[in-house]
Amino acid sequence: MAKNDISFFFDPKSIAVIGASGTKGKVGNTVLLNIINSGYKGKIFPINPKSNKICELLCFKTVLDINEDIDVAIFVIPSKFVNLAAKECGKKGVKGLIIISAGFKEIGGEGVKREEELIKIGKKYNMRILGPNCLGFIGLNYNGSFAAETPKNGEIAMISQSGAMLTGMMDYSMTQAFGFSCNISLGNKADLGAVDFIEYLSDDDNTKVILCYLESIKDGDRFLEVLPKATRKKPIVILKSGVSEAGARAASSHTGALAGADLAYDLAFEKCGVIRANTIEDLFDYGEIFLYQPIPQKNSFAIITNAGGPGIVATDAFEREGLKFSSFSEEILHLLRENLPLEAAIFNPIDIVGDAAPDRYEFTMKIIFGINSNQDLGEITTQGALIIVTPQAQTKPSEVAELIYRISSTHLKDIPIVCSFIGGKNISEGRDYLKRNHIPCYHFPDRAAHSLKTLIKRRIYLNSIPLEMLEVPSFKVNKARVKEIFDNVRDDNRTVLLSFETSEIFDCYGIKSPKSRLAQTPRKAMKLQSQIGKTVMKIVSPQIIHKTDVGGILLNIETEQDAFEAYIQIVNNAKKYGPQNAKIYGVEIQEMIDFKSQEKINEIIIGMSQDPCFGNILMFGTGGIYANFMKDVSFALGYKYTREIVKQQIENTKIFSLLQGVRGEPPSDIEAVIDVMLRLSQLITDFPEIVELDINPLLSFMKGYSAVDIKITIKK
Amino acid sequence: MVKIFYFSSLHENAGKSFLSIGFIQKLKKERKNFVYFKPIGIPKSAFTNKADPDVGFILNTIYKTEYPYDFISPVSIPDAYYIDLVDSSKKEEFMEKIKKAYEKISKDVDYIIIEGNPSIRKFIRVGLDDVSIAQTLGINELIYVSTESSDRCIDNLFFTKNYYDFRKVSIKGILFNKINFDYIARIKELTEEHINKYNIPVLGIIEKSLELFSPRVEEIKEQIGGELINEQSSSGLNNLVESFLIGAMNAQSAFKYLRQVKRAAFITGGDRSDLAMAALAQDVSVLILTGFIQPDMGVITAANKKGIPIILSPSDTYTTMRNLERLKPGIQKDEMEKVLQLIEKDIDWDLLL
């Protein structure tokens, strides 16, 4: 069996039900009946020491009593007996365990130990485990769960961390056109997690779309490795609920504070091409559109409506979602003008007005897509459409629905069509018809636009360079010296680096920062000032994070006497206004940037924080003392951090326009800033012990830059 | 020739017990033949237990000796109303007891550690001050322990030097103890310019250890007469407290201060669950909830998750804080190794041994 082979869960030759029961209502009975009633063709072995026969099947005391091979064992026994039975399965050579039983990690204490033991048993006997504490597994071949019903077969794979959510979704699907290739309840994820199943399902021919409901992701590295490959093969939509505990903790740095709790998931999903759903409704909307509608060639849509109001609502929704309107050729506009009523709006969105009968919809669709036309229609730019129907006396929604399906299925196989039939009683037949025929039809246009947007997102992703082909630049750096500095910091029982240390680290990685030395007495400050020249003096204390707040910074120190007095003032301020027992290492004497010689200066914030699941997150944005209030920042995951990604990240901020130069200003040295970001990425990749890093501000000039205030925190 | 380390200081709380504990450990480690002696013990109570708590702690932990307590600390004088307790006849008797005990224990040893009175002024009116005792015992040199992290240390040193000169004893050396980290470099500067030229040896500069001089949660609980309400986190009673923070503002504003503290005792009203929860997300050692108001279950659950004890204080926030100001944390049994580390690192043993 290959290391990551889990095919036996999907197509087992034989299944043992440990804890099978003949008593109606018991989980052991439901599971057994579900397997039988779902038409499973393989062999079923009920295991129950107290019975000889259950549901007309020969019953065994343990799996060891069975003389045939068993692929999958489903556990529905009390948790305290699970590990013993799991060992027997191991000895028997069972390949996979589906442990429905609860009473493991989720109950804490004893349950945690029980789960740890279970994991060890699985590893020892090379068995893969789904669960424990799950609903079970429902595939095309069998229903190995205690769900009330077996859902329709179809092409959506559903993976859920919550069993209850899964049953709800399966029940919902009964009212929809789509069905499932599998429904997998992950439970406690003792062994197998979502990523394992996604990896398998990405190559599963029966699955066209993968939908997931997840509360957490266990192994971020593996997620980043597997998902980008899987999403190239088929769409994956994830509804991720909850906020990570580590993300929720209060952050001590600018980056941490600005990043928010759930950011890493957003970034990771985007990087991997995963479509994130924010609601259950979104999850199914996206699933449905990916399943039934093609990806458009480009972002160029038309709206056809028989009512002005909904047309405006739809236009607003398009703008919100970043959907673009197609432009019609002169020839198309001419035909529309000639054939539609005078009051009709012929420019996109097209309003065919309230009295539009089905033939007007048909005419308009055919013209804008150039169907069956023997006339020269010029360039056809429309790559998809939203068709809005409101029920007027002339509308005949069911007939409109039929013609939309007919045109779409006959002529527009590569063009996505979605509809919004607004209303209740009068349009329900038409809407149901469309849904049955795989044309997404929504109550209101907003959701339609929302779904179309996901198609565009996927188009952009599929057109992007695959992650594995991206080249991450590598710079020549002095890694050994940085390691030494970190070792010294740890020896000093600190986690926050002092300014003179960060200055040297940046020097080792080719990032320019002002000359900086530590003074521990006023007289040493005088001496250093005379060596460095005009200086800025800053308190050096790991406990004082925001130096300005405690009067810990003095600027424009031009003479030795000034330095002497500044030293005393800064230390006194820190003692008076700083935290109790702050350990004061002295005062940093830092070279003062000569602002006058620079024609243009922009204050930038650059930072990183570490997400426990997905690793480094890099931030870029408007810096200075108002950074936290401006919140003009853009984030990117440190994984596969390339020059193109940095450019995109910078372009996503407002300060980008300032860096380019506004009102006749010259541009700033953006390339130099990109260089800093890339070198920083290399630093934090080389040293995973860096948990937080902020540069605020980094002063960007017309030529070059200077990283003025740097904070680095490492792990204990 | 026997070497004597007689610790004296101008001010109280200079850390002489700490130095004694460190010196005892160092001499033990070096396998030296030594005794520890504290001429006058100061018991907590005048009438019940007459043992000095520091001496008791030393004898019970690191210094096992064949001599009974009265030989190690022959005289016991309580702090309260002692002028009346030691009249002229008692003075002679006490001095005689000190002398006899010293003669007995100092025989055949190479090193003697003497822990002086709380300050060199102490008991001077009754003739039992450090210098009088030293002279009675035939000791002419005392170690001067200085704890000021400011230029005042130089004034105090020369004041003491003048006083010793007047009393015809001398300073064996100066030991800077409990010095703030930011002042160590300055002391080195001052040593070069103000101390060396008077031939006063600087025996060491010992950095103030937040860990050693920080109270444990248990000590705080005793001091404020508080009650632990989450027994599940009782192991947290051993937590060190390096700072105190009073939560009276809203949670958002408190956050700024909470982010800056380390191992903090967070004091707030029992009805301020918002603040308590904000504090629990930071580096706090204990939650002290005043007014004896029970917090929400959510606070207790969150505290238990992190093993942080919650103490209910019977007093209001102001009174609780005032009580804490009187707290004088002592060295704990499990901190001996840390004491030795500091003593070994920061003292010039070549000068002393």
How far apart CA B37 and CA B58 sit, in angstroms, is 11
Percent of chain B with pLDDT over 90: 66
**Domains with residue ranges and CATH for chain B:** 3-212+331-352 (3.40.50.300), 217-325 (3.40.1390.20)
Q: How far apart are CA A116 and CA A180, in angstroms?
A: 32
Final residue belonging to a domain, choices A398, A432, A463: A463
**HSE-up of residue A319 (Cα within 13 Å, Cβ side):** 7
Has residue A413 been placed in a domain? yes
Residue B46: pLDDT band by 50, 70, 90 thresholds?
low
* pLDDT for position B47: 65
Flag whether A449 is in a domain: yes
- DSSP string spanning A273-302? TPEEESSHHHHHHHHHHHHHSPPPSSS-BE
Residue A355 and residue A425 share a domain: yes
Flag if B262 and A543 touch (Cβ within 8 Å): yes
Cβ contact, residue pair A523, B260, below 8 Å: no
**Helix crossing, B251-258 with B273-280: angle to 10°?**
30
Same domain (yes/no): A306, A425: yes
- Cβ neighbours of residue B183 closer than 8 Å, sequence gap 6 or more: B149, B150
Residue A408: pLDDT over 50:
yes
Å between A456 CA and nearest CA of chain B: 40
A261 band by pLDDT with thresholds 50, 70 and 90: low
A338 closest CA partner among A306, A372, A302, A375? A375
In this prediction, residue A110 carries a pLDDT of: 87
Under DSSP, the state recorded for B219 is H
How many Å from the N-terminal Cα to the C-terminal Cα in chain A?
A: 41
Do residues A715 and A693 touch, judged by C-beta distance below 8 A?
A: no
Closest-CA distance, A274 to chain B, in angstroms, reads: 32
| A602-631 residues labelled b (16+ CB within 10 A) or e (exposed) | bbbbbbbbbbebbbbbbbbbbbeeebeebe
To the nearest whole Å, the CA of B293 is away from the closest chain A CA by 26
Q: Is A356 exposed, middle or buried (0-12, 13-18, 19+ CB in 10 A)?
A: buried
Position A579 in a domain: yes
Alpha helices in chain B (DSSP H): 16-29, 53-61, 69-72, 82-85, 88-105, 130-136, 152-167, 181-190, 217-224, 251-258, 273-280, 297-306, 317-325, 336-346, 349-352
Quote the ipTM score.
Answer: 0.77
pLDDT at A680 over 80: yes
Q: Taking residues A314-329, what's their average pLDDT? A: 95
Phi and psi, residue A652, nearest 5°: -75, -5
If one compares B260 and A497, the residue with the highest pLDDT of the two is: A497
Q: Does B213 touch chain A (CB under 8 A)?
A: no
Minimal Cβ distance to B185: which of A524, A545, A583: A524
d(CA A304, CA A322): 18
Q: Is the pLDDT of residue A257 over 80?
A: no
Using omega within 30 degrees of 0 as the cis cutoff, is the peptide bond preceding A697 cis? yes
A683 in any annotated domain: yes
Other Cβ atoms closer than 10 A to B127: 15
**Residues from chain B contacting residue A543 (CB–CB below 8 Å):** 260-262
Greater confidence, B191 or A375?
B191
Task: Please compute Rg for chain A using Cα positions.
Answer: 32
A471 inside domain? no
Mean pLDDT of A177-199: 94
Residues A544 and A214: their CA atoms lie apart, in Å, by: 39
Query: Which CATH number belongs to the domain containing residue A645 in this structure?
Result: 3.30.470.20
Pair (A165, A111) in one structural domain: no
Partner A contacted by B305 (CB < 8 A): no
Question: Closest residue of A to B241, CA-based?
Answer: A581
Question: A31 with A113, same domain?
Answer: yes
Strand order across the A72-75 sheet: A43-47, A14-18, A72-75, A96-99, A128-130
> Quick one: closest CA in A to B257, which residue?
A579
SS3 B268: strand
pLDDT in tens, B285-338: 999 999 888 898 889 988 998 999 999 999 998 899 888 888 877 788 888 999
Q: Looking at the structure, tell me whether residues A566 and A633 fall in a common domain.
A: no
Q: Which CATH number do you get for residue A98?
A: 3.40.50.720
Write out the DSSP string of B2-48.
Answer: -EEEEEEESSS-S-HHHHHHHHHHHHHHTT--EEEE-SEE--S-SSS
User: What is residue B82's predicted lDDT score, i.e. its pLDDT?
Assistant: 83
The DSSP string of A367-395 is HHHTTT--S---------EEEEE---TTT
Q: Report, as an integer, the average pLDDT of A316-325.
A: 96
DSSP β-bridge partners for residue A603: A699
In order, the DSSP letters of A499-520 are HHHHHHHHHHTT-----EEEES
Summarised one tens digit per residue, pLDDT across range A269-313 is 999 999 999 988 899 999 999 999 999 999 999 999 999 999 999
Instruction: Compare all CA atoms of chain B with the CA of A544 and give the residue at the minimum distance.
Output: B260
Across the interface, whether the CB atoms of B259 and A521 are under 8 A apart is answered: no
Asked, for residue A142, whether it belongs to a domain, the answer is no
Q: Which tokens sit at A305?
A: 């409506």
Other beta carbons within 10 angstroms of residue A665's beta carbon come to: 14
Across A595-599, B78-82, B320-324, least confident range: A595-599
Residue A555's closest CA among A601, A513, A591, A501? A591
The C-alpha of B149 sits at a distance from chain A's nearest C-alpha, in angstroms, of: 12
Task: Note whether B210 contacts A: Cβ–Cβ < 8 A.
Answer: yes
Q: Which helix (H) or strand (E) holds A73?
A: strand A72-75
Rounded to an integer, the average pLDDT of A668-674 is 96
> In the A/B pair of chains, how many CB contacts fall below 8 A?
51
How far is Cα A384 from Cα A404, in angstroms, rounded to an integer? 13
Q: How confident is the model at residue A344 (pLDDT cuts 50, 70, 90)?
A: very high
- Which residues share a beta bridge with A519? A587
User: Chain B contacts of A252, Cβ < 8 Å?
Assistant: 259
* Same domain membership, residue A485 and residue A379: no
Interface test with A, best of B150, B190, B243, B260 (most A CBs within 10 A): B260
Residue A254 has pLDDT above 60, yes or no: no
Q: Which of B181, B255, B261 sits opposite A579 (nearest CB)?
A: B261
At residue A394 the predicted structure's pLDDT band, cuts being 50, 70 and 90, is: confident
Find the closest chain A residue to B281 by CA distance.
Answer: A249
Is residue A252 scored above 70 in pLDDT? no
Domain co-membership, A421 together with A494? no
Looking at residue B240, what DSSP letter applies?
A: B
Q: Which residue of B has its CA nearest to A582?
A: B261
* Chain B residue nearest residue A547, CA to CA: B260
- CB-CB contact of A618 with A608 (8 Å): yes
Domain region containing A271: 151-278
* Per-residue confidence (pLDDT) for residue A2, from 0 to 100: 52
Nearest one of B179, B52, B48 to B115, comparing CA atoms = B52
Nearest to B259 among A250, A581, A584 (CB): A250
Q: What is the mean pLDDT of chain A?
A: 91
Query: What DSSP state is assigned to residue A465?
Result: P
Same domain, yes or no, for A588 and A605? no
The CA distance from A85 to A58, in Å, is 19
For residue A225, what is the enclosing H or E element? helix A220-233
Q: Which of A520, A545, A571 faces B260 most closely, judged by CB atoms?
A: A545
Is B185's Cβ below 8 Å from some Cβ in A? yes
SS3 A620: strand
Statement: residue B2 has pLDDT above 60? yes
Question: Cis link prior to A579 (omega < 30° from 0)?
Answer: no
Q: How far apart are the C-alpha atoms of B279 and B258, rounded to whole Å?
A: 6
A374: domain CATH number is 3.40.50.261
- Segment A439-462 shows an average pLDDT of 95
Beta carbons of A200 and A308 less than 8 angstroms apart: no
Q: Give which of A173, A171, A423 is closest to A288, Cα–Cα.
A: A173
Indicate yes or no: CB of B260 within 8 angstroms of CB of A578: yes
- Angle CA B307–B313–B314, to nearest 5: 150
Cα A187 to the center of its chain, rounded Å = 21
pLDDT interval class at A259 (50, 70, 90): low
Residues A307 and A415 in one domain: yes
Are residues B260 and A524, on separate chains, in Cβ contact within 8 Å?
A: no
pLDDT for A494 beyond 90: no
Residue of A nearest to B265 (CA): A580
Distance CA A127, CA A122 (A): 5
| B182 with A544: Cβ contact below 8 A | no
Residue A507 has pLDDT above 60, yes or no: yes
Chain B interface mutation, best of A520, A569, A587, A629, highest count of B Cβ atoms under 10 Å: A520
Domain end position, chosen among A79, A106, A133: A133
- Is residue A552 classed exposed, middle or buried when 0-12, 13-18 and 19+ CB atoms within 10 A define those classes? buried
Q: What is the mean pLDDT of residues B172-193?
A: 94
pLDDT per residue as tens digits for the range A422-447: 988 888 999 999 999 999 999 999 99
Confidence of residue B48 (pLDDT cuts 50, 70, 90): low
User: Which has the higher per-residue pLDDT, A40 or A109?
Assistant: A40
User: Is the pLDDT assigned to residue A582 strictly greater than 60?
Assistant: yes
pLDDT digits (tens, 9 = 90+) for A115-168: 999 999 999 999 999 999 999 999 999 999 999 889 999 999 999 998 888 998
Residue A388 C-alpha from the chain's centroid: 31
Choose the mutation target among A527, A550, A580 for the interface with B, i.e. most B CBs under 10 Å.
Answer: A580
| Percent residues over pLDDT 70 in chain B | 98
Sheet holding A535-540, edge to edge: A516-519, A586-591, A535-540, A553-557
Please report, rounded to a whole number, the percentage of residues in chain A having pLDDT higher than 90: 74
**A579 to B184: CB separation less than 8 angstroms, yes or no:** no
Query: How do strand B111-115 and strand B75-76 relate by DSSP bridges?
Result: unpaired
Q: Flag the least confident range among A236-245, A661-670, B60-69.
A: A236-245
User: Are A579 and B257 an interchain contact pair (Cβ–Cβ within 8 Å)?
Assistant: yes
Q: Is residue A112 part of a domain?
A: yes
Residues A520 and A541 in one domain: yes
Measured CA to CA, the distance from residue A370 to residue A368 in angstroms comes to: 6
**Chain A contact for B186 (CB, 8 A cutoff):** yes
> Is B244 near chain A, with CB under 8 Å?
yes
| CA separation for the pair A386, A451 (Å, rounded) | 11
Strand partners, A60: A47
Q: If pLDDT is split at 50, 70 and 90, which confidence band does A249 have? A: very low
- Chain A residue nearest residue B278, CA to CA: A250
Query: What value does the mean pLDDT take over residues B78-95?
Result: 84
Residue A288 domain-assigned (yes or no):
no
Note whether A76 and A20 are within 8 A (CB): yes
Do A113 and A155 lie in one domain? The reply is: no
Cβ contacts of A584 on chain B, cutoff 8 Å: 180-182
pLDDT band for A393, please (50, 70, 90 cuts): confident
CA A714/CA A200 separation, integer angstroms = 37
Average pLDDT over every residue of B251-263: 77
Residues of chain B neighbouring A521 (CB-CB closer than 8 A): 185-186, 189
**Residue A219 confidence (pLDDT):** 86
End-to-end Cα distance, chain B:
11
Taking residues A323-351, report their average pLDDT.
Answer: 94
Measured CB to CB, residues of chain A less than 8 Å from chain B are: 249-250, 252, 520-521, 523-524, 543-545, 549, 571, 578-586
**Residue type at A708 in one-letter notation:** V
Residue at a domain's end among A133, A166, A190 = A133
Q: What is the mean pLDDT of residues A541-559?
A: 88
A248 pLDDT tier (thresholds 50, 70, 90)? very low
Q: What is the pLDDT of residue A250?
A: 38
Show which of residues 253-292 on chain B sit within 8 Å of chain A, judged by CB atoms: 255-262, 278, 281-282
On chain A, the residues whose CB falls within 8 A of the CB of B185 are 520-521, 524, 586
Sorted by sequence, the CB contacts under 8 Å of residue B9 that are 6+ apart come out as B16, B116, B118, B119, B120, B144, B145, B146, B147
A252, A549, A586: residue with CB nearest B182: A586
- CA-CA distance, B86 to B15, in Å (whole number)? 26
Tokens for A335, please give them.
Answer: 């035909």
Q: Are A614 and A266 in contact (CB under 8 A)?
A: no
List of chain A residues whose C-beta atoms are within 8 Å of the C-beta of residue B186 = 520-521
In terms of domains, do A506 and A575 share one?
yes
Q: How many domains does chain A have?
A: 5
